[in-house]
Amino acid sequence: MPGYDPQNIFAKILRGELPCHKVYENDKVLAFLDIMPRAPGHTLVLPKAPARNLLDIAPDDLAAVMHASQTIAKAAMSVFHADGITIQQFNEGAGGQVVFHLHVHVIPRKAGVAMKPPASEKERPDVLSDQALKLAAALTRV
Ligand code: AMP
């Protein structure tokens, strides 16, 4: 497996070199909205540590990412009036990974509504800003 590339796009977001629609942050984790959501509220949860994917992340960083994913999933259920949550996490190109900094997809789902295909449509920035504010506000209450 190749090593961690510090020039990947999520590393740049973590360093503040590129913007994101942040929903949550603690000392080990950053979470922000996917710019090409597969459903409204599609959130990405990342370790701050430089891990390429599940195959090289330290167990305590993985635990922090999964803990935050659970917290965000619970908040997203009410904010997005969801009926369920899909969790996805891809490893290496063969596993469907496109950006090589580990991230967990938290995707709110409505009964009977299919997810959009991956990376099919960019959401409007004002829509993402509004959703991020609502989800971040709900996360301060959990
Ligand atoms: P994957 O590596 O297959 O899990 O896919 C990477 C995900 O990152 C896709 O869902 C993209 O829509 C998303 N993505 C790519 N660039 C950005 C960005 N700058 N901000 C937020 N999400 C992004």
Which pLDDT score, from 0 to 100, does residue 37 have?
98
Side chain identity, residue 53:
N
For residue 72 the two structure tokens come to 């965000």
Which pLDDT score, from 0 to 100, does residue 142 have?
72
User: Would you call 17 helix, strand, or coil by DSSP?
Assistant: coil
Residues 6+ apart with CB under 8 A from 28: 47, 48, 49, 60, 61, 64, 65
pTM for this entry: 0.98
Strands (DSSP E) found in the chain: 22-25, 29-33, 43-47, 84-88, 104-109
| Residue of 7, 13, 35, 124 to mutate, ligand 1, most atoms within 8 A of C-beta | 35
User: How many whole angstroms from 35 Cα to the centroid of ligand 1?
Assistant: 7
Pairwise CA distance, residues 68 & 71, whole Å: 5
Q: Hey, where are the domains in the chain?
A: 9-139
Which pLDDT score, from 0 to 100, does residue 141 have?
79
- pLDDT mean values, one per 10 residues, the chain (142 residues): 96 98 98 98 98 98 98 98 98 98 98 96 97 97 76
Cα 97–Cα 77–Cα 142 angle in degrees, nearest 5: 100
Give, using CA atoms, the residue closest to atom 4 of ligand 1: 97
Phi, psi of 86, rounded to the nearest 5 degrees = -105, 130
21 noted as active-site residue: no
User: How many whole angstroms from 93 Cα to the centroid of ligand 1?
Assistant: 14
Determine the topology of domain 9-139 in CATH: HIT family, subunit A (3.30.428)
